[in-house]
Chains A and B, each alone.
Chain A
């Protein structure tokens, strides 16, 4: 008995030692490629969740930030809705959303959350029709009717009327939309509600709506995945996803009557407006003549008062510094990924909001 006890004790102790040493050493970080990145302590990693709209940009930003500042950020692209609820549950340091928190979400959260705009992007209509070589052109009315399920085939005369000379296949249209709470959906449905009364009354706008037709998918990734695999599919995704995956996307007619190609220039034109102090503003159906009508800001959300759940001042400072970097130095990475850099106005609004973040009542950034 004694021998067995001793053996077991030794095994237990050695396992505990191994486990403890594993947890304290934290492992090496790095983003691959064999680069010798300086290892950062894993327990200092900041955790964020939310918008898949931002994911291509964030994934690049955080990898660069880690290289420069040795602070790791673990961001999960779970959709704006999930990001907001994780922030509300205080299971993440920051959330990211392309839809500002609505009334219900505001009342569910226990303390105010700051919205800091970090980028602007375009929600493009991407489609899978290898047969047509020209870029598809869409008017607001036709777009709404497609998503309402009233136009069901690609060779419908209404589509042909605005795309003169293009021979469409008789494939059925398959709509790919979001199944999860999505800021991208919010931008798109806000636009549709503005341009189509029928959409406004039947479906409405929001991060999650009752789509009349189509298949739901998780995240921009899922929507893009379905479009890519299904001939005849059309769906709404962020510009970066369409470009990175070589997917075709449509030109949309804006308020001024011009058919605009989504691009950094057209999104910047749409974003060139006065931003309110709380930065919650929609860019859809822009008045700008060259502006892309389905553009939107994306925000990082953090609690205004950072002292909660035993958060340290150190962690709060790291978080605020990260967001500050994102709206200043981080902007240099936007264009390569087809996100529009923030205008000077947006940056200054963002700065002002960040300065109001406090720890135990005292502002974090000086």
Chain B
């Protein structure tokens, strides 16, 4: 083996080593963040923490009950809005692949995916908060629903695309009407892909703060009225993280841990579903 070949092989090995190093270096910040938040947050979590609302400024104790319930309600309403529309749009894009409208629709879904969340917050403010005369959880939910749509539409379309045509043709051959073919044959067949898209979109919006800044506004009390302002986990973390009060910082750490665990859990669930059913997302 002459020197030239050894040099080239050496370069190749060095490159491989560098690649491995850099690749694993990526993981370091994530692990650091996870550990830090677990360490800072785990001591704050208790039954008391989950049940109570924040105390007046300067008093210790209190919890994040209003934010927990608020997050759940806002996300639920957003999902109720986005899921039907998203799934139907996904079905449309798959069924009418060649239509001119489908081209523009697909383009718009791609555009929606890239819109910064703060811009959606602004738009929701003008669409809902100003006309209705006040901040409300529903306006936050609408903003979040807009953010969920691209993911649900995309995953529905991709899932349905992967289903074999023979399935659809067999159903038609049996004389089933169009809507039955879609709703009773195709959708149930692709339900795992669609479901993982839904879960993914929920995970995406669970941590979103910017759209809620000018819509849901925040609320120190527990409330379930979606026409009124509501607190949510990311809003609480944002407001308390920049404050000087040690109690609030503690609440924010606990809330961050809960939010992080929740989001990671949803993402991991999605991965398990896609792997088990071998769906490409």
- Give chain A's interface residues, CB within 8 Å of chain B: 1, 4, 15, 19, 22-23, 25-34, 42-43, 45, 47, 55-56, 59-60, 62-63, 72, 74-76, 89-92, 217-219, 221-222, 224-225, 227-228, 240-241, 244-245, 247, 309, 337
Beta-carbon contact of B225 and A222 below 8 Å: no
Query: Which residue of the partner chain B has the closest CB to A60?
Result: B56
Beta-carbon contact of A32 and B62 below 8 Å: yes
Beta-carbon contact of B243 and A25 below 8 Å: no
CB < 8 Å neighbour of A224 from B183, B218, B244: B244
Q: A26-B223, A31-B55 are in contact. Are A91 and B134 (CB under 8 A)?
A: yes
Beta-carbon contact of B244 and A309 below 8 Å: no
Beta-carbon contact of B224 and A42 below 8 Å: yes
Complex Cα spacing A224 to B227, Å: 34
Q: Which residues of A contact B58 (CB under 8 A)?
A: 56, 59-60, 240, 244, 337
Q: A31-B55, A59-B57 are in contact. Are A76 and B218 (CB under 8 A)?
A: yes
Beta-carbon contact of A89 and B73 below 8 Å: no
Complex Cα spacing A138 to B42, Å: 43
Beta-carbon contact of A25 and B224 below 8 Å: yes
Other CB < 8 Å A-B pairs besides A45-B228, A59-B58, A225-B243, 7 of them?
Answer: A4-B184, A15-B80, A34-B51, A59-B56, A60-B57, A72-B221, A221-B239
Complex Cα spacing A111 to B48, Å: 45
Query: B179 contacts the other chain (Cβ, under 8 Å)?
Result: yes
Q: Which residues of B contact A89 (CB under 8 A)?
A: 130
One digit per residue, 1 when the CB lies within 8 angstroms of any chain A CB and 0 when it does not, for chain B 25-69 equals 000000000000000000000001001111111100111000001
Beta-carbon contact of A74 and B224 below 8 Å: no
B175 to chain A, nearest CB (A): 13
A-B contacts, 11 of them at CB < 8 A, read A1-B184, A22-B225, A23-B226, A25-B224, A27-B225, A43-B227, A63-B56, A74-B221, A89-B130, A221-B245, A222-B242
Query: Which residue of the partner chain B has the closest CB to A21?
Result: B224
Q: Which residues of B contact A219 (CB under 8 A)?
A: 242-243
Beta-carbon contact of A47 and B229 below 8 Å: yes
Beta-carbon contact of A74 and B222 below 8 Å: no
Complex Cα spacing A32 to B130, Å: 32
CB < 8 Å neighbour of A90 from B133, B183, B217, B244: B133
Q: Which residues of A contact B223 (CB under 8 A)?
A: 26-27, 42, 45
Complex Cα spacing A47 to B180, Å: 49
Q: Which residues of B contact A4 (CB under 8 A)?
A: 183-184
Complex Cα spacing A340 to B216, Å: 34
Complex Cα spacing A28 to B169, Å: 55
A365 to chain B, nearest CB (A): 25
Which of chain B's residues 204-228 have a Cβ closer than 8 Å to chain A?
217-228
Query: B129 contacts the other chain (Cβ, under 8 Å)?
Result: yes
Q: Which residues of B contact A76 (CB under 8 A)?
A: 217-218, 229
Q: A91-B134, A218-B242, A309-B133 are in contact. Are A22 and B224 (CB under 8 A)?
A: yes
Q: Which residues of B contact A91 (CB under 8 A)?
A: 129-130, 133-135
Q: Which residues of A contact B80 (CB under 8 A)?
A: 15
Query: Which residue of the partner chain A has the closest CB to B176?
Result: A1
B210 to chain A, nearest CB (A): 14
One digit per residue, 1 when the CB lies within 8 angstroms of any chain A CB and 0 when it does not, for chain B 183-200 equals 110000000000000000
Query: Which residue of the partner chain A has the closest CB to B246?
Result: A245
Q: Which residues of B contact A27 (CB under 8 A)?
A: 69, 221-225
Q: Which residues of B contact A75 (CB under 8 A)?
A: 220
Beta-carbon contact of A42 and B225 below 8 Å: yes
Complex Cα spacing A149 to B188, Å: 68
Q: Which residues of B contact A72 (CB under 8 A)?
A: 221
Beta-carbon contact of B244 and A221 below 8 Å: yes
Query: Which residue of the partner chain A has the closest CB to B226?
Result: A23
A164 to chain B, nearest CB (A): 31
CB < 8 Å neighbour of B244 from A42, A74, A225: A225
Beta-carbon contact of B57 and A32 below 8 Å: no
B40 to chain A, nearest CB (A): 15
B118 to chain A, nearest CB (A): 15
Most buried by A among B56, B69, B134, B228: B56
Beta-carbon contact of A43 and B244 below 8 Å: no
A177 to chain B, nearest CB (A): 15
Beta-carbon contact of A42 and B221 below 8 Å: yes
Q: Which residues of A contact B228 (CB under 8 A)?
A: 42-43, 45, 74
Beta-carbon contact of A23 and B133 below 8 Å: no
Q: Which residues of B contact A63 (CB under 8 A)?
A: 55-56
Q: A29-B222, A31-B55, A56-B58 are in contact. Are A23 and B227 (CB under 8 A)?
A: yes
Q: Which residues of A contact B134 (CB under 8 A)?
A: 47, 91-92
Q: Which residues of B contact A42 (CB under 8 A)?
A: 221, 223-225, 228
